[in-house]
Each structure stands twice: as structure tokens, then as C-alpha cells.
Amino acid sequence: MIKKDGHTHTQFSHHGSTEQLDMYIERAIDLGFTEYVVTEHAPLPQQFLEEFVGPDDARDNSAMAIDELTFYKSEVERVKEKFKDKINIKSGFEVDYLKVYETDIHSFLQRESNWIDEIVLSVHFLPNNEGNVAPIDYEPDTLSAYFSDECRNPQILFKRYYDAVIQSVNFDTGLKVPVRIGHITLIRKYQKLLHLPKFDESIKQQITELLAIIKQKNYQLDFNAAGFSKPYNGESYPTFDIAEQAKKIGIELVYGSDAHEVNALGLYYDEMKELIVDKK
Ligand SMILES: [Zn+2]
Ligand SMILES: [Zn+2]
């Protein structure tokens, strides 16, 4: 039986731990994982960094820098070879979807297409009412500061988020490898702190539409454990009801620890495995 972690990070996440990739892999083997996709944040488009990022800005350290790309790839290649008898390691990226930079993202993926086995496609940044693009999952204060109007009417914030996630699914990656849509309830990361309400009927409808497009594109869903460990969230991304809805229409759910440190590997796998479609 395949036991897969489809969403993992490395020391190239500047907001994560500096533990070496070998330690992650050894831990995954100990936990009985047979397949492991390394999905570090791909470098953000250069123009995005230049146009929006200031010195103390979250956006300049969330992803690997472009000059780290070669080293990252060689590290993944190295552990692939080193552990090949014990675990099937795949090369990947977590790719930020940014509507304005679709062309740059497309070019990046084309350049790397021979190297990529799988990707996670994620929305972490949204435009606010003034057109400034800000991260939704960096700090609660950042979310409240950039999206103060939207936070007063959270259904508007939710709609903004699902509009972007739907756009990300419709984006032409140009790749022929598995694409997973990342953590599709990330907008609820600080739900307990910000007292976010439940999704209203129109958002639920948007989620139904989103799942239909994911199915139509034959994409997978990142069934992400990270929210369980976040003090202000406490749930999987997406929540079990949405995961069940996805499974019902035949979308493949792939467990993702989204580990940024070795200790986060495998968390909540047992709780989530019922919903993971096992094709093998
Ligand atoms: Zn992510
Ligand atoms: Zn991630």
C-alpha cells in the first residue's frame, strides 16, 4: 500500500526549520511513508518581488530565492538517489498563483518542466481593495491590516479568496504532471482569533463550483494537516465536510503534512486517512 506525503518543505523555506532534507526523509521512512514529494516554495516572480516587497516584508522571505534554485534541485536529486531503496522521492514545487504574474509563472514551469514530477498550486496572496497584494497566511496582523474592510465582512474576504483559487485552477500550467490544489480553506487560518463566521450559502456554492473545475481538470486536492496544529485554526485544510464532498465527485485527495520541520511529518495522517482515496 502506498503511504504518501504530497506536500513538504525544506530548509529553503526561510520561515521553517534549518534541518537537513535527509532528516525529513529518514523520519518519513520511520513513519512508514513510501512516497514523498518535496514541494518547496518556488521562487516568486522577480517583478512581483521588485514591485511589492519592502525590507521588512513577509513576501521577500516566504519562498526560496532564485539563486537557491540550483542547490535546491541538487539536494532533492541527492536524497532521491541516497534513499531510493527505501522511499520513492519526487521532485516538486509549491507554486504561488498570482493572477498578474501568470505569464512569469507559466515560463518558470516551462523551464523546469523536465525536472518536475508533481506540483502543489496554492493561493497565499490576494489583492486588497487598494490593489495591494498581501499574504493571507503570514501573520494575523498582516491579514487584518491589509484586509481591514474585508475582515469586517468576512464573506467578502472568502469570496475574494475563492475567486483567486478558481482562477488558479483555470490557469494553464502547461505541465503534464499531477497538479494538486493547495489547502483550499487557508483563508480560515486565523478563524478563531478573528471570529470568522461559517461560509454562507453563496460561498458554499463557490466551493462546489471550485470542486467541479478541479474534477474537470483532473487535478488532485491537497488534504493538508497543517491547520490542525495552528492555534487559531484547529482543522484540516479543507475541512472534512469539503473533503467528503470532493471525494464524492471522484477527486483524489492526497495527504499533505506541509511540514516545515521534521516533527510535523505524518501528523494527523491516521485521522485523515479514511478520506484519502487509495487507488492502489
Ligand atoms: Zn502553502
Ligand atoms: Zn506548503
Report which of residues 87 and 275 the model is more confident about. 87
For residues 7 and 121, give the distance between their C-alpha atoms in angstroms, rounded to a whole number: 10
Average pLDDT over residues 187-201: 96
The pLDDT score that the predictor gives to residue 17 is 81
Mean pLDDT across 101-113: 97
Among the residue ranges 53-67, 122-136, 148-162, 248-262, the one predicted with the least confidence is 53-67
Tens of pLDDT, residue by residue over 213-227, are 999 999 999 999 999
| For residue 8, pLDDT beyond 50 | yes
Q: What is the C-alpha to C-alpha distance for residues 63 and 60, in angstroms, rounded to an integer? A: 7
The ligand with the least distance to the CA atom of 258 is 2
Q: Which ligand is nearest to the CA of 97?
A: 1
DSSP 84-102: TTT-EEEEEEEEEP-GGGH
- Whether the upstream peptide bond of residue 238 has omega within 30° of 0, thus cis, is yes
- Centroid of ligand 1 to alpha carbon of 94 (angstroms): 7
How remote is the CA of residue 60 from the centroid of ligand 2, in Å? 16
List, for residues 48-60, the tens digit of each pLDDT value.
888 765 445 555 5
**Can you name the CATH fold of 4-275?**
TIM Barrel (3.20.20)
Distance 78 CA to ligand 1 centre (A): 24
For residues 250 and 215, the answer to whether their CB atoms sit within 8 Å is yes
Rounded to an integer, the average pLDDT of 251-277 is 94
Q: Where are the domains of the chain?
A: 4-275
Ligand 2 center–CA 202 separation, angstroms: 28
Q: Which ligand number lies closest to the CA of residue 93?
A: 2
Residue 230 confidence (pLDDT) above 90: yes
Distance 96 CA to ligand 2 centre (A): 10
- Residue 95: name the closest of 181, 14, 28, 162 by CA: 181
For 130, other C-beta atoms within 10 Å of its C-beta total: 8
Pairing of strands 133-135, 125-127: antiparallel
Rounded distance from Cα 175 to ligand 1 centre (Å): 20
Residues 88-93 have a mean pLDDT of 98
What's the pLDDT score for residue 51? 75
Residue-level pLDDT at 130? 87
Confidence band of 25 (pLDDT split at 50, 70, 90):
very high
Is the CA virtual torsion 222, 41, 191, 185 positive or negative? Answer: negative
